[in-house]
Structure 1
Amino acid sequence: MKKRTIAAGLLTLLSVVTLAACSKTSESSKIVTMKGDTVTVGDIYDQLKGTPTAQQTTLNILISRVFEKQYKGKVSDKQVEEAYNNTVKSYGGEKNFLSAISQQNYTKETYKQYIRAEKLVEYASKQEAQKELTTANYKSAYKDYNPEVTVQLIQMDDESKAKSVLDQAKADGADFEKLAKDNSKTKKTEYTFDSGSTNIPDAVSKAAFSLKKGEVSDLITTADYQSLQQGQQKSLYYIIKVTSKADKNANWKAYKSRLKEIILNQKINNATFRNAVIGKAFKKANVKVKDKTMNDIITRYAKAADTSASTTTTKSEATTANSDKTTEASTDSQTTAAE
């Protein structure tokens, strides 16, 4: 516990040092005095500036300040509290959560600051992602889309028991609903989802889409992400039975609203796309790192923004070229008809 407290204290000090390094006056501020010598803010900064922790802290501060200014008022305190409470709940309570984040040098308040910054980046990413709502992208999303399926689900954390339950579920005349209620770790045993849903493990949804109505899956093994968050490595075991499955409409426009959500979510959660959004915001704010040691903290964002701009230009040129070809073809057709 003492080590964690010291680590959290160092992070706070590091934040102060990182900001103070921008000012000559602050650099000379004395942190420690002794006979014949002193330790200044500048001394500490010089020692820490090259470390990953220093760079990450600087980046967090930078993102927070740039996005707060450019998207002021777009994220409320209520949104931050809701996100914080949901995260705490996933850890089984605040005590477990605070213990976990202290290992990453976060306090309750600094973690809320992190959430706010993340929410601001998410908002900016969503605005940028609106540009991706093209007919071509809608059709591409439709191609990969699987409409809603309803399953009865059994979740277990014991492999031996899961195999035994699977044998029972596969037997003729098995009452799957009763098996689910008697053996599943989850109170809820029926789920409806499509390929854009995020509340079901990918392996489970993939299995569901491959099954026909009335079929029972084989044993599906996934990582227990909650245990991973707590520093453990466990597995979860699933068995599902498909009870309802919608046919896919041949017209993509029937799913336009849902496809829009999927396209936006995929972009927002794509690291390269988010880096480009951050890079554009930094460029707009004219962010420049004065210390070469810290320069790497914005390089990847600048590159992502440049790549994004280049890709957008290429797409625009291709669209213009296709438009020109269409116009030429139309003109040639009209000329031939006149002749």
Structure 2
Amino acid sequence: MKKKKFILSLTCLISVLGLAACSDDSDSDDEIATMKGDKITVGDFYDKAKTDQNSQQIVLDMIISQVFTEKYGDEVSDDEVDQQIEETFGDEETLNQQLEASQMSKGELEETYRQSLAVQEGLKDHVDLTDDDLKEAWDSYHPEVEAQLIAVSSEDDANDVKDEVDEDDADFGKIAEENSVDASKDDEGKVKFDSTTSPEEVPDEVKEQAWDLEDGEVTDPIEVNSEYGSGYYILKMNKNQDKGDDMDEYEDEIQEIATDNKINDQEFSTQVIGEELQDANVKIQDEAFSDILTQFTEAADGQGESNSSSEDASDEQATEETESSSE
């Protein structure tokens, strides 16, 4: 099972690419449409479109992407870009269909993914993990297990399959191949996953029940309703394992989980983006977009004031201690 990290959504990626593809070198007086006694120019369109919420979001995404790519883009390898594209689109045929539908080249898509990954690298650069961060990650972690899954679309189908797997000498793998709609059906439903595996691959509801199973145990039908789809799952645990008490044994995994938790924390990411925007001296030149950076710059300013207050308090305490000592 592949583990996915957060990147810009496909919709956002295509939107940014679409804006870039459509911009070309058009002049504001270029005509989009003409009619008796009137016309619509590129400038007319821009004046109308720039106040739209989607347009505001696209411009914000472009600013953030360019700022982070300028500073962190060199830290993103071609292999990382290829891996993210593969995990998003799967096979080459699906990728080409999406590119054709969006009228984008593969090079444009690769550049957009590179920008998204550069944002991740920038956020990582600001991460400073505490013991509490590591403990939170450790508490939520469960090491990889080996199991088999059967996924069906209806409760009736799930109950029928459950009755079948409960029969004496039932072959769970064969039943999975005959009934499951999960991608793992071609391998007798076999899956490997841990607590960091994407819900798109193994739903959270399934993982939560899996951790408590003994080897050989089979769940009752598990109902799943999420953004990734709905249905019912039946899981057989083949090899579970307890993580024990030694966090050092899973040091790399815990570091990665804690880092991802930090990156996906909205307060943290908003503050970091604000700091990077300030460091890049971003200035909005068009009044229509004057407020798009406010939440980020305010977060960065607030953190600066907080740090300043802490330093002032420390200085004041040190002064009081010195005066007390002198007395």
| Smaller-chain TM-score bracket | 0.7 to 0.9
1:299: Cα distance to partner?
1.6
Q: For structure 1, which runs of at least 5 residues remain unmatched after alignment?
A: 1-6, 21-25, 227-233, 329-339
Moved more, 174-183 or 118-127: 174-183
1:54: Cα distance to partner?
2.3
Query: 1:190: which partner in 2?
Result: 190
Q: For structure 2, which runs of at least 5 residues remain unmatched after alignment?
A: 1-14, 322-327
Query: 1:30: which partner in 2?
Result: 29
Query: 1:114: which partner in 2?
Result: 112
More helix per residue: 1
1:262: Cα distance to partner?
0.9
Query: What is the CA deviation profile of residues 239-260 of structure 1, one whole-angstrom value per residue up to 9, with x for unaligned ones?
Result: 1012222223123333222211
- What is the percent sequence identity of the aligned residues? 33
Q: How far apart, CA to CA, are the structure 2 residues paired with 1:76 and 1:10?
A: 24
Does the alignment pair 1:289 with 2:289? no
Query: 2:56: which partner in 1?
Result: 55
User: Which amino acid in the other structure matches residue 195 of structure 1?
Assistant: S
Call closer, same or farther: CA 1:307–1:142 in 2, change over 3 Å. farther
Does the alignment pair 1:279 with 2:278? no
Query: 1:168: which partner in 2?
Result: 164
1:160: Cα distance to partner?
2.9
Call closer, same or farther: CA 1:92–1:86 in 2, change over 3 Å. farther
SS in 1 for 2:74: coil
Q: How far apart, CA to CA, are the structure 2 residues paired with 1:260 and 1:267?
A: 11
Call closer, same or farther: CA 1:307–1:181 in 2, change over 3 Å. farther
Query: 2:213: which partner in 1?
Result: 211
1:162: Cα distance to partner?
2.3
Q: How far apart, CA to CA, are the structure 1 residues paired with 2:152 and 2:30?
A: 55
Q: How far apart, CA to CA, are the structure 2 residues paired with 1:9 and 1:115?
A: 11
Q: CA RMSD in A?
A: 3.8
How many residue pairs get aligned? The number is: 292
1:14: Cα distance to partner?
6.8
Query: 1:235: which partner in 2?
Result: 230
Query: What is the CA deviation profile of residues 106-142 of structure 1, one whole-angstrom value per residue up to 9, with x for unaligned ones?
Result: 734654443222111011122222x12x222222222
Moved more, 37-46 or 53-62: 37-46
SS in 2 for 1:73: helix
Call closer, same or farther: CA 1:285–1:80 in 2, change over 3 Å. same
SS in 1 for 2:48: helix
1:173: Cα distance to partner?
4.8
Check conservation: 2:73, 2:114, Cα contact below 8 A. no
User: Which amino acid in the other structure matches residue 124 of structure 2?
Assistant: K
Q: How far apart, CA to CA, are the structure 1 residues paired with 2:143 and 2:86?
A: 31
Call closer, same or farther: CA 1:86–1:175 in 2, change over 3 Å. closer
Query: 1:260: which partner in 2?
Result: 255
Please show how residues 1-339 of structure 1 align to structure 2 within 5 Å: 11-12=19-20, 15=23, 29-32=28-31, 42-89=43-90, 93-94=94-95, 96-98=97-99, 102=102, 107-108=104-105, 110-129=108-127, 131-132=128-129, 134-185=130-181, 186=184, 187-188=186-187, 189-198=189-198, 199-223=201-225, 235-306=230-301
Query: What is the CA deviation profile of residues 40-96 of structure 1, one whole-angstrom value per residue up to 9, with x for unaligned ones?
Result: 655443222211232123223312321222124222445334433432227971354
SS in 2 for 1:210: coil
User: Which amino acid in the other structure matches residue 220 of structure 2?
Assistant: D
